[in-house]
Amino acid sequence: MKILNKKISITTSGVVAAAALSLSVSSVQASSLGEGLYMQHCAACHQPNGKGIPGFFPPLADNDRVNSDDPETIQKYLRRVIFGYHGGLIVNNQMYSGRMPPIGYVGRLNDSELLKLVNYQRSSWGSKARDITFDELTKARQAGSLK
């Protein structure tokens, strides 16, 4: 995608459709529930390898904010995943200003599924972040959206 530094006129949903299409042609074989849930709910945007799409969807692999063991940073991470996010981000010197949907909030995933998903993500693609606990997830749900 060679549109990085130009004004972006393509709609996010168009990119999602394109990303989802490329995902559906590659065969997705999950070896754990967490991986299967990630593939189903996150990979269309953040990609199966967690690298995202520069300028559109931030990487989750090699992203210090996403793979931190610090309790406060984990709370922010969880609140973004549960309630969605639209505030703009900079990851590895690249700006993002898209819209992350409220994946964990719409009732598609229960808490135990969501935990498996985020802990799969945090222990994949070279990251060895510690597991997030049920209590941390409950606290983030109660705290609500970041905005």
The helix, strand and coil proportions of the chain, stated in percent and rounded to the nearest 5, come to 40, 5, 50
Region from 26-34, 55-63, 127-135, 137-145 binding ligand HEC, contact rule CB under 6 A? 55-63
Residue 97 to residue 95: CA distance in whole angstroms: 7
Beta strands in the chain (DSSP E): 89-91, 94-96
By CB under 6 A, is residue 121 in contact with ligand HEC? yes
Closer of 48 and 58 to ligand HEC (Cβ): 58
Q: Is the Cα torsion angle 25, 77, 109, 17 positive or negative in sign?
A: negative
Rounded least distance, CB 85 to ligand HEC, Å = 5
For residue 100, the cross-strand partners are 85
By CB under 6 A, is residue 86 in contact with ligand HEC? yes
Applying the rule CB under 6 A, the residues between 101 and 120 that interact with ligand HEC are 101, 103, 117
Distances (CA, A) of 123 to 9, 81, 117, 130: 35, 16, 10, 8
* DSSP classification of residue 131: P
Applying the rule CB under 6 A, the residues between 59 and 78 that interact with ligand HEC are 60, 63, 65-66, 77
By CB under 6 A, is residue 97 in contact with ligand HEC? yes
Binding residue for ligand HEC, selected from 82, 96, 115, 122, defined by CB under 6 A: 96
Give the interface with ligand HEC as residue ranges (CB under 6 A).
16, 41-42, 44-46, 57-58, 60, 63, 65-66, 77, 80-81, 85-89, 91, 96-101, 103, 117, 121
